[in-house]
């Protein structure tokens, strides 16, 4: 009974679709792969060139001020970053950081406008919401496969996979934040004769800012987790150390690399959260 | 020409708007239409005119459609039918650009819960309307400061709204609306969120401002006392329809139907009724014709113990008491001047009843209502009490 219809070749279709996209959009993917890949490498190397002591001082000073002149986060940053340096994982840390930074930046640049579109149009919201659900629930590893097809291996496919996986929170929270702006404030801006964009930039976005920032915080954290996974397709950084220790069953090395990721995650998380609060 | 003219303005919320309008034409009630089409009638064929400089109050209970009506006037809600003329231009049919122009130049709105932007300072809030118009920073700051001074907040310009009390926040709302120098102020339950004492202050202040600036104000409220206090005219709404439009006196004294009557039943009449409403025709003697004997005779006929004295031109001269008149008759005094008392308690015809209480309490004789020195009528204690309990007018002089 259940076998009445033969197996639907979904896997085949997706493979063929991916092949087709790879061929047709090669003119787009290749320059991205090459130029953007070069830029990423340059960026990561430049970060690694900055003397670690300067990076640590800058991070500590910024931490001190954005937490409202408290020492907690500053001290944690100094100790944590020094520990990573001490374990000889500084270069990997900088690579991971470069990937997270660029990936989340792109996520925000793409995500906020989509979120605004969703908040303005019921139709857009109806179409985009299930797509976001799909993007977030699909196991993250699956995105690595087309990423490799499009951009081969390295940093670029890592960022591509991270974009798909990490953008949804920014989109959702932007939409939510704008929809939550009180009716009376929207009316006030309209009653005084605002145009659509005046309403958006002078009232809605400022009002939604803290909600949007909460979404961005999540996006950054998801980027970090994806960037680690992306080491499986050749993205450099702390994730690669985790992967290689896994392959060789080296518990100690694996733990050290994992600890580095945790320290980075805590610092990034507290930074983005406090940025939100201090505004 | 009226500055605002609303004609057959309707709003139906729902999906079967056309059917609902037809049912409205057939005179069907709001509830029946809801049952039949699932649509909610917000406003049903409202028509009225507001003159330049007038305070026009739209009042009704919650759900009566008053907030919808005010939003139809500046088209925050799209009208289903009808027209709104502001200075002769029909808002209901104009394009978006013209609508923005009218909103920027002619209509400003003050909101119930203030609707201040929490991330902007008081000054920046007051500047908002001007900023939207693209006015440069210096000019709009100056104008906004001016209007903040006007509402007494000149010293708070760098605070955030959250740091101010409710009353002060609403002053900012008012300043923001005034900064645009609009022709019409739309005030949607502007004082309803304030506590009663502050509310009264704000009402006084609004009236002062209105006298200074001669703005036209459309004021929405559910509070009849407030409506009677500040309104030149009042429109009473029920179930989306305007039930009666009139001056506060007209509404109180001749309610159009049972609904209005029930509405005004509980009102504090002493604040609305004036001397004119409760005075009665006075018994008088003419100082140029009559003497103590006539005075005494009249008092005996009417069963009163004092009588007012006038001259040929009805100018009030004073009063005489029965005791004095009787003594004078015994002494065969002919001239009323010799026993005339001139410490007459007098009030103007438009003195609120509220202010008459004390005068009448401290005097043994009825209070005289005068205009330009002429006696119009008198007020006896009984009339005051009768008017307070709502027995309507006792004006026999009309």
Q: For A231-270, how does the pLDDT look when each residue is reduced to its tens digit (9 = 90+)?
A: 888 888 898 889 999 899 899 989 999 999 999 999 999 9
Could you report the per-residue pLDDT of A214-229, keeping only the tens digit for each?
999 999 999 999 888 8
- The answer to whether residue B140 sits within a structural domain is no
B131 touches chain A (CB under 8 A): yes
Residue A63 lies in a domain: no
B307 & B218 share domain: no
Q: Establish if B172 belongs to a structural domain.
A: no
Q: With contact defined as beta carbons under 8 Å apart, do B217 and B187 qualify?
A: yes
How far is residue B187's CA from residue B222's CA, in Å, rounded to a whole number? Answer: 12
pLDDT tier, A279 (very low <50, low <70, confident <90, very high otherwise): low
Please report whether residue B167 resides in a domain: no
Q: Are residues B289 and B371 in the same domain?
A: yes
Residue B107 and residue B155 in contact, taking contact as beta carbons nearer than 8 Å: no
- CB of A192 within 8 Å of a chain B CB? The answer is yes
Residue A185: CATH number of its domain: 1.10.3720.10
Q: How far apart are CA A155 and CA B199, in angstroms?
A: 64
Give the containing element (helix H, strand E) for B128: helix B122-132
The domain of A220 spans: 19-49+87-278
Domain assignment present for residue A165? The answer is: yes
Instruction: Decide if A186 is inside a domain.
Output: yes
Does residue A40 form part of some domain? yes
Residue B98 contacts A where some CB pair is shorter than 8 Å = no
Residue B262, domain member (yes or no): yes
Q: In angstroms, rounded to a whole number, what is the distance separating the alpha carbons of residues A49 and B299?
A: 114
A14 part of a folded domain: no
Domain assignment of residue B21, yes or no: yes
Q: Are residues B56 and B191 in the same domain?
A: yes
User: Does residue B384 form part of some domain?
Assistant: yes
Number of CB pairs < 8 Å for A and B? 59
Our count of domains for chain A comes to: 1
Same domain, B255 and B281: no
What's the distance, CA A30 to chain centroid? 22
Is residue B214 located within the same domain as residue B353?
A: no
| pLDDT the model gives residue B393 | 45
CA angle at residue A211 from A206 to A213, to 5 degrees? Answer: 85
Within this chain, do residues B280 and B367 fall inside the same structural domain, yes or no?
yes
pLDDT reported for residue B392: 47
HEC letters along B26-73 = CCCCHHHHHHHHCCEEEEEEEEEEECCCCEEEEECCCCCCHHHHHHHH
Q: Phi, psi (5° rounding) for residue B81?
A: -160, 155
- pLDDT higher than 70, residue B398: no
Q: Domain range spanning residue B326?
A: 275-388
What is the chain A residue with the closest CA to B99? Answer: A193
B376 and B294 in a common domain: yes
Instruction: Using an 8 Å CB-CB cutoff, list chain A residues near B101.
Output: 193
How would DSSP label each residue in B290-309? --HHHHHHHHHHHT-SEEEE
**Domain stops at, among B226, B243, B267:** B267
Residue A228 Cα distances to A86, A93, A161, A246, angstroms: 21, 11, 11, 13
Say yes or no: B286 and B222 in one domain: no
**Average predicted confidence (pLDDT) for chain B:** 87
A55 in a structural domain: no
Tokens of B192: 């309803």
**What is the predicted pLDDT for the residue at B129?**
93
Domain boundary among B267, B297, B316: B267
Which tokens hold the place of B138? 């210096």
Does residue B57 carry a pLDDT above 90?
Answer: yes
HSE toward the beta carbon, residue B5, CA cutoff 13 A: 8
Per the CB < 8 A criterion, the answer to whether B136 and B123 are in contact is no
Residues 54-93 of B with CB under 8 A from A: 71, 74, 76
Closest CA to B383 of B372, B370, B392, B371: B392
Asked if B103 lies within 8 A of A207 by C-beta distance, the reply is no
Q: Are residues B101 and B206 in the same domain?
A: yes
Is residue B180 within 8 angstroms of chain A, CB to CB? yes
Q: For residue B162, what pLDDT is reported?
A: 92
CATH code, domain with B341? 3.10.580.10
Residue B344: pLDDT band (50, 70, 90) is: confident
CB-based burial label for B343 (10 Å; 0-12, 13-18, 19+):
exposed
**Residues B234 and B279 reside in one and the same domain:** no
Mark which of B223, B244, B267 sits at the end of a domain: B267
Q: Which of A183, A187, A188 best probes binding to B when mutated, by most B CB atoms within 10 angstroms?
A: A188
Predicted confidence (pLDDT) per residue in A34-93, tens digit: 888 889 889 988 988 999 999 999 999 999 998 888 889 999 999 999 999 999 889 899
C-beta atoms of A193 and B112 within 8 A? no
User: How large is the ipTM?
Assistant: 0.78
Contacts 24+ apart (CB under 8 A), B25-30: B29/B239, B30/B239, B30/B240
> Is there a domain that residue B175 lies in?
no
Task: Specify the pLDDT at position B397.
Answer: 38
pLDDT tens per residue, range B306-329? 899 988 888 888 898 888 888 888
pLDDT digits (tens, 9 = 90+) for B358-376: 788 778 788 888 888 888 8
Domain count, chain B: 2
CATH number of the domain residue B226 falls in: 3.40.50.300
- What's the rounded Cα separation, in Å, for the pair B368 and B355? 14
CA distance, residue A214 to nearest chain B CA (Å): 18
Interface test with A, best of B129, B130, B160, B169 (most A CBs within 10 A): B129
Angstrom distance (rounded) from CA A30 to CA A33: 5
Whether A139 is in a domain gets the answer yes
CA distances, B140 to each of B121, B122, B145, B179 (Å): 14, 13, 8, 8
Residues in chain A within 8 Å Cβ distance of B128:
188-189, 192, 202
Nearest to B129 among A185, A192, A209 (CB): A192
Nearest residue of chain B to residue A184 (CA atoms): B115
Sequential DSSP letters for B136-178: -HHHHHHHHHHHHHHTT-TT-TTS-GGGS-HHHHHHHHHHHHH
**Does residue A258 sit within a domain?**
yes
* Domain shared by B300 and B360, yes or no: yes
Of B103, B113, B118, the CB nearest to A192: B103
Antiparallel, parallel or unpaired: β B284-286 and B306-310: parallel
Dihedral sign, Cα of residue B368, residue B372, residue B375, residue B376: negative
Tokens found for residue B309: 């004295």
Same domain, B188 and B70: yes
């Amino acid at each position: 009974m259940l076998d009445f219809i033969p197996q639907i070749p979904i896997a085949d279709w997706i493979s063929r679709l991916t092949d087709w996209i790879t061929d047709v959009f090669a003119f787009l993917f290749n320059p991205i792969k090459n130029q953007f890949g070069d830029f990423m490498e340059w960026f990561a190397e430049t970060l690694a060139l900055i003397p670690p002591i300067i990076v640590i001082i800058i991070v500590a000073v910024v931490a001190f001020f954005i937490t409202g002149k408290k020492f907690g986060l500053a001290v944690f940053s100094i100790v944590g970053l020094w520990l990573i340096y001490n374990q000889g994982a500084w270069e990997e840390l900088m690579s991971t950081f470069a990937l997270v930074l660029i990936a989340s930046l792109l996520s925000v640049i793409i995500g906020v406008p989509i979120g605004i579109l969703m908040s303005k149009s019921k139709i857009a919201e109806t179409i985009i919401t299930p797509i976001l659900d799909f993007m977030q629930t699909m196991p993250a590893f699956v995105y690595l496969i087309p990423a490799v097809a499009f951009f081969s291996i390295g940093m670029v496919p890592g960022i591509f996979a991270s974009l798909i996986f990490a953008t949804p929170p920014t989109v959702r929270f932007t939409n939510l934040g704008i929809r939550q702006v009180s009716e009376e404030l929207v009316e006030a801006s309209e009653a005084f004769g605002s145009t659509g964009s005046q309403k958006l930039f002078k009232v809605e976005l400022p009002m939604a800012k803290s909600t949007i920032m909460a979404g961005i915080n999540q996006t950054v954290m998801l980027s970090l987790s994806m960037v680690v996974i992306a080491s499986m397709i050749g993205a450099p950084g702390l994730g690669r150390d985790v992967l290689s220790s896994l392959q060789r069953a080296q518990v100690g090395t694996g733990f050290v690399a994992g600890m580095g990721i945790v320290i980075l995650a805590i610092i990034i998380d507290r930074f983005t959260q406090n940025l939100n609060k201090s505004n | 020409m009226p500055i605002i003219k609303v004609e057959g303005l309707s709003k139906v919320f729902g999906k079967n708007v056309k059917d609902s309008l037809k049912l409205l034409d057939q005179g069907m009630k709001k509830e029946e239409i809801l049952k039949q089409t699932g649509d909610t009638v917000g406003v049903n064929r409202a028509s009225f005119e507001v003159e330049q400089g007038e305070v026009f109050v739209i009042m009704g209970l919650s759900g009566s459609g008053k907030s919808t009506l005010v939003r139809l006037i500046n088209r925050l809600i799209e009208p289903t039918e009808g027209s709104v003329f502001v200075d002769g231009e029909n808002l209901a049919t104009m394009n978006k650009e013209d609508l923005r122009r009218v909103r920027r130049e002619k209509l400003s709105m003050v909101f119930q819960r203030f609707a201040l932007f929490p991330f902007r300072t008081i000054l920046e809030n007051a500047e908002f309307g001007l900023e939207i118009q693209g006015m440069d920073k210096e000019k709009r700051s100056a104008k906004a400061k001016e209007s903040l001074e006007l509402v007494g907040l000149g010293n708070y310009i760098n605070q955030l709204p959250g740091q101010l009390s409710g009353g002060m926040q609403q002053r900012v709302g008012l300043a923001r609306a005034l900064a645009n120098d609009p022709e019409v102020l739309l005030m949607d339950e502007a004082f309803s969120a304030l506590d009663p004492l502050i509310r009264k202050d704000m009402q006084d202040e609004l009236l002062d401002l209105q006298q200074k600036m001669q703005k036209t104000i459309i004021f929405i409220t559910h509070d009849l006392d407030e409506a009677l206090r500040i309104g030149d005219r009042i429109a009473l709404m029920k179930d989306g329809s305007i039930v009666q439009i009139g001056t506060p006196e007209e509404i109180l004294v001749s309610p159009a139907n049972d609904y209005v009557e029930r509405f005004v039943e509980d009102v504090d009449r002493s604040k609305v009724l004036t001397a004119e409403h409760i005075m009665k025709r006075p018994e008088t003697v003419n100082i140029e014709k009559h003497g103590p004997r006539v005075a005494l005779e009249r008092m005996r006929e009417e069963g009163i113990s004092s009588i007012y004295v006038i001259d040929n031109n009805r100018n009030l001269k004073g009063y005489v008491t029965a005791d004095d008149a009787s003594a004078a008759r015994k002494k065969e005094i002919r001239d009323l001047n010799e026993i005339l008392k001139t410490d007459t308690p007098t009030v103007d015809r438009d003195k609120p009843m509220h202010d008459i209480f004390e005068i009448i309490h401290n005097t043994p004789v009825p209070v005289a209502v005068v205009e330009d020195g002429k006696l119009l009528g008198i007020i006896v204690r009984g009339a005051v009490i009768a008017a307070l309990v709502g027995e309507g007018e006792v004006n026999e002089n009309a």
